[in-house]
Amino acid sequence: MSGREDHVKYGSTPIHLGRAPDPLAVADSVVLDVVAAAILVDRRLLTVSKAVAAHVFYLPGGKPEAGESHQQTLARELDEELSAAPVDAQPYLVLSAPAALEAIPMRLTVYRCDLTSPPRLGAELADLRWISAVGLRAPDVLAPALRDLLVPRLVQDGLLAD
């Protein structure tokens, strides 16, 4: 672990988490496709925050570029964000939830994997934390899809410490 798990970083960008998107506003919009990695070490989950909302933590990953497979997206994003490559990436779960910042429908495809090397904070990230099911201390928060859907499933499957 990095020793930064308990480091508190305050964000300056206000966001509204957990609110459902307005069905009229998104009726004709496309669902945001996101590919992410659930990296677990000692039953703790690696989460990252981005500079745009440094107090909101997500899984490392991102949106596929045109023509890119999920495996290619995962490799590119983990290299950019963590300076590491995925090892033995296996599909774990597909979640549907509002995107935390965009507040539009999102399909989050989660792959379980290890990394080729310890994660290092990439340029677009503000922080990284290894968490248990307890989550984070205020004012830091988990993105709603993680808090409400992924973390409970990881605990249920015995992969994340309570």
Per-residue pLDDT of the chain (162 residues; tens, 9 = 90+): 333 332 222 232 333 333 444 444 444 457 899 999 999 999 999 999 998 889 999 999 999 999 999 999 999 999 999 999 999 999 999 999 988 888 789 999 999 999 999 999 998 899 999 999 887 777 789 999 999 999 999 999 999 998
Range of the domain at 124: 28-156
Q: Per the domain annotation, does 21 fall within a domain?
A: no
Stated length of the chain: 162
Other Cβ atoms less than 10 A from the Cβ of 126: the count is 17
As a whole number of angstroms, the distance between CA 83 and CA 133 comes to 26
Cis peptide before 64 (omega within 30 of 0): no
Q: Per the domain annotation, does 116 fall within a domain?
A: yes
Q: Per the domain annotation, does 40 fall within a domain?
A: yes
Count how many domains the chain has: 1
Strands in 32-38's sheet, in edge-to-edge order, are 61-62, 32-38, 105-115, 86-98
As a whole number of angstroms, the distance between CA 50 and CA 58 comes to 9
Q: Per the domain annotation, does 56 fall within a domain?
A: yes
Share of the chain residues as helix, strand and coil, in percent rounded to the nearest 5: 20, 35, 45
CATH number for the domain including 140?
Answer: 3.90.79.10
Secondary structure of residue 58 in the 3-state scheme: strand
- The predicted pLDDT at position 29 comes to 59
Closest CA to 104 of 1, 41, 22: 22
Q: Per the domain annotation, does 22 fall within a domain?
A: no
- The predicted pLDDT at position 117 comes to 96
